[in-house]
A and B are shown apart, each in its own frame.
Chain A
Amino acid sequence: GQQLNQSPQSMFIQEGEDVSMNCTSSSIFNTWLWYKQDPGEGPVLLIALYKAGELTSNGRLTAQFGITRKDSFLNISASIPSDVGIYFCAGTGGSQGNLIFGKGTKLSVKP
């Protein structure tokens, strides 16, 4: 079945740094979603993307739906300690009935 490759698996950064993570698919996706999961909690939706080329911001977060429809990235600017958590990408493609999730990027922020 379809798979999502999410990278990097983990990141250790200093407070104030910018962060970038991405997801790629072997096939075309129609929707890209980015979630954040705080430790011990369920994932919370950050940004949803529905059109190729779409660039959407949510505060310090910016995400883009790749032109090829096979990738998406999430940027976090000026990271703060509460950005710590696991970030998941998810998407839906033409041949797949359900949301497919990446394996997550674990972000650690040093104050």
Chain B
Amino acid sequence: DVKVTQSSRYLVKRTGEKVFLECVQDMDHENMFWYRQDPGLGLRLIYFSYDVKMKEKGDIPEGYSVSREKKERFSLILESASTNQTSMYLCASSSGQITDTQYFGPGTRLTVL
């Protein structure tokens, strides 16, 4: 079974703090994704990566950056957290084509005070 894990289930940070969200997958998938999920807005793609050290902007990259130094790990970074970044963050991975089935982690609920 595909396993995608996220470093924290719940996180509370203060405005202006630098925040790291980590995601690890154990299936040697080439592609990894970060989404945020907000009520009424569904899943919105922040960034994705199709290879180590490669990254592509999604639909809402502003205020975020990512890092993929190893194939199994994809980090989402909030350089200076703001209250409007309070959300559920979901990591996903897929193999092969970038459009192939994605498998999700359990999510990190981030609250920025």
Partner of B42, one of A31, A42, A103: A103
Category for how many chain B residues contact A: 20 to 34
Residue B99 at the chain A interface, CB threshold 8 Å? yes
- Among A40, A45, A103, the residue within 8 A (CB) of B101 is A45
Query: What residues on B are CB-neighbors of A99 within 8 Å?
Result: 99, 102
Q: Using a CB-CB cutoff of 8 Å, which residues 17-56 of chain B contact chain A?
A: 33, 40-43, 45, 48
- A102 adjacent to chain B (CB < 8 Å): yes
How many residues does chain A have at the interface if contact means C-beta atoms less than 8 Å apart?
A: 21
- Are A97 and B99 within 8 A (Cβ)? yes
B40's partner among A35, A97, A103 (CB-CB below 8 A) is: A103
Is the beta-carbon distance between A44 and B99 smaller than 8 angstroms?
no
Nearest Cβ on chain A to B36's Cβ, whole angstroms: 12
The answer to whether B103 has its CB under 8 Å from any CB of chain A is: yes
Could you tell me which residues of chain A, from 26 to 60, have a CB within 8 Å of some CB in chain B?
Answer: 30-31, 33, 35, 40-45, 48
B residues neighboring A (CB under 8 Å): 4, 9, 33, 40-43, 45, 48, 58, 90-92, 98-99, 101-107, 109
| A-B contact list, 30 entries, CB within 8 Å | A30-B99, A33-B101, A35-B104, A40-B9, A40-B106, A41-B106, A41-B107, A42-B4, A42-B90, A42-B104, A42-B105, A43-B90, A45-B101, A45-B103, A48-B101, A88-B42, A88-B43, A90-B102, A92-B99, A97-B98, A97-B99, A98-B45, A98-B58, A98-B99, A99-B99, A101-B42, A101-B43, A102-B42, A103-B40, A103-B42
